[in-house]
C-alpha cells in the first residue's frame, strides 16, 4: 500500500481565502506535504486531468470551474493516506459530509466542493505525476 495521496484546493476555496486554513488542518491531521504548488489550470489541462469524467453530464461545468482560478496542488504523505484523507475531507456532496470535515466546513455544493482527494493508490500516483516531476516530489 502506498502512503501518499494527491490533493487540490479548488478555485472556490482559493477565491474565498481558505487556502491557509485548509493547509493548517491538513498538517494538524498528520499529513506531511511532499510536494506543493499554486497553479491556474487552462481549460485544456483541466479537461485532461478529468478526462475520466468526459462522458458525465457535469464534465463541461467541472472543466469550467477547475480552470476558473488558481488551485493549490499537493502530494501528501501519511500511513493509509488515500483512505484517511478521503475521511478527512468528507463526502463529495458537502450536504452529506460529516461534521468537522473540510467539505462540511468550506464547500458550497457538489460541483464547488473545495478540495480533491485521490480515490485509490494508483490514481494518487497518476494525479501527483500530472502536476509534479519526480524532482519536485520530496
- Give contact residues for ligand CMP (rule: CB under 6 A): 58, 61-62, 92, 110-111, 113, 116
**Could you give the angle at the alpha carbon of 134 between the alpha carbons of 129 and 137, nearest 5°?**
85
User: Is 53 in the active site?
Assistant: no
Min dist. Cβ of residue 99 to ligand CMP (A): 20
Of the pair 58, 130, the CB lying nearest ligand CMP is at 58
Min dist. Cβ of residue 110 to ligand CMP (A): 5
> Would you state the cell numbers that stand for residue 120, as one nine-digit string?
485509490
- Outline where the chain has alpha helix (H): 11-15, 19-28, 43-49, 59-66, 81-89, 102-106, 121-131
Of the pair 95, 138, the CB lying nearest ligand CMP is at 95
Q: Which residues are catalytic?
A: 116
Amino acid at each position: 500500500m502506498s502512503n501518499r495521496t494527491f490533493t487540490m484546493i479548488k478555485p472556490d476555496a482559493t477565491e474565498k481565502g481558505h487556502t491557509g486554513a485548509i493547509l493548517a488542518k491538513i498538517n494538524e491531521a498528520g499529513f506531511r506535504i511532499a510536494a506543493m504548488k499554486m497553479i491556474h489550470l487552462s481549460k485544456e489541462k483541466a479537461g485532461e486531468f478529468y478526462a475520466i469524467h468526459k462522458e458525465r453530464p457535469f464534465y463541461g461545468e467541472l472543466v469550467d470551474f477547475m480552470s476558473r482560478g488558481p488551485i493549490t496542488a499537493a502530494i501528501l504523505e501519511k500511513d493509509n493516506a488515500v483512505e484517511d484523507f478521503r475521511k478527512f475531507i468528507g463526502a463529495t456532496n458537502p450536504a452529506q459530509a460529516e461534521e468537522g470535515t473540510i467539505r462540511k466546513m468550506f464547500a458550497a455544493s457538489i460541483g464547488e466542493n473545495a478540495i480533491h482527494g485521490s480515490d485509490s493508490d494508483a490514481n494518487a500516483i497518476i494525479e501527483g505525476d500530472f502536476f509534479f516531476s519526480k524532482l519536485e516530489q520530496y
